[in-house]
Amino acid sequence: MLVDSFGRTIDYIRISLTERCNFRCMYCMPNTPMDIGSESDDVPLDSVLNFIKIAIKQGVKKIRITGGEPLLRSQIVPFIAKIYELNPNIDIALTTNAFLLAPLAKDLKQAGLKRINISLDSLKPEKIVLISKRDGLNKILQGIESAVKEGFTIKLNMVPLLGINDDEIVDILEYGINLGVGVRFIEFMENTHAKDSTKGLRANEILHKIKAKYEVDLLEKDFFGPATLFKLPTKDCIFGIIAPHNDDFCKTCNRIRLSSEGKLIPCLYHENAVDIKEHMLRGNEKEILKNLKLCVEKKPEKNDWDNNEVSTRAFYKTGG
């Protein structure tokens, strides 16, 4: 079991398989060249499995596969199948922009993937282009529909941005309700890689827009993630808000991250990391375990977003 110095049990690891992405979202990597690299630059998936084996032995119960865009990895399906083979009880999840999801959804389900979080920042084609620099709404919606058909547990993730898509908060919520899937609104996390003029809405502002149409009841923290949950009694619907600016956001944090560069990251906000790439490549279990424990030991008590600080972390390398 992995326990940090603040008594939090670390049983959830987010693994970025690549920093490459087919979108250039304004809140993440708008100025990054499209030809960011090739799959040959990514850490081999068998080497990532060397780490995952150790993590599972240390009590990790949930693994979320992220990027960049993880579906750009050509062997993503057999990779997930190998995780499932290691332990069928592991909660294997994926975060994707869904642009490539539709033709892969069935195979991913059969491989053992259980949950999918899908970024959906707008239901308007022109706004998707504005936010992501990609005319991708049709393929995103096709990916969502395919995931629903295959029976995945699904959450739609929206980052409400001031003057961009904040008028669609209720629309996205109702889209999720109609599909029977969860919705998570994520506060924009200020970072140096985002477009300079980007401004997000805080949790109270998001709630204000929803309460203009619906009665909202506060529930509790999400068992499977960092969201605070709310219910619409009239719709029998639960949605969540992920608010890293709140003082209590970090109190129950049970996560660390493995970046696309092969670095263990104890906190999304802070720059400190433990490099285990060479140990993964060599399959050195002793050193992987040593550095995994070191990462957990270095996990800070909290981030600094509540102090209006800006992170220098490149989220597309760490999976957000």
Asked if residues 194 and 217 have their Cβ atoms less than 8 Å apart, the reply is no
pLDDT tens digits for range 202-227: 999 999 999 999 999 998 765 556 78
The DSSP bridge partners found for residue 12 are 62, 255
Q: Where do we find the tokens 């990027």?
A: 67
Looking at the predicted structure, is the pLDDT value of residue 313 above 70?
no
Distances (CA, A) of 191 to 28, 248, 275, 282: 8, 20, 22, 33
User: Quick one: pLDDT at residue 69?
Assistant: 96
Mean pLDDT for all residues in the chain: 90
User: Quick one: pLDDT at residue 143?
Assistant: 98
Closest-CA residue to 177 (of 219, 116, 119, 235):
235
Could you tell me the pLDDT band of residue 33, with boundaries at 50, 70 and 90? confident
Interval 72-98 mean pLDDT? 97
Asked if residues 160 and 185 have their Cβ atoms less than 8 Å apart, the reply is yes
The DSSP bridge partners found for residue 96 are 118
Percent with pLDDT over 70 in the chain: 92
Interval 44-73 mean pLDDT? 96
Look at the domain 12-318 and name its fold.
TIM Barrel (3.20.20)
User: Quick one: pLDDT at residue 252?
Assistant: 79
> In 61-95, which positions are buried (b, 16+ CB within 10 angstroms) versus exposed (e)?
ebbbbbbbbbbbbeebbebbbbbbebbeebebbbb
* pTM of the model as a whole: 0.91
Contacts of 254 (CB under 8 A, 6+ apart): 8, 9, 10, 11, 12
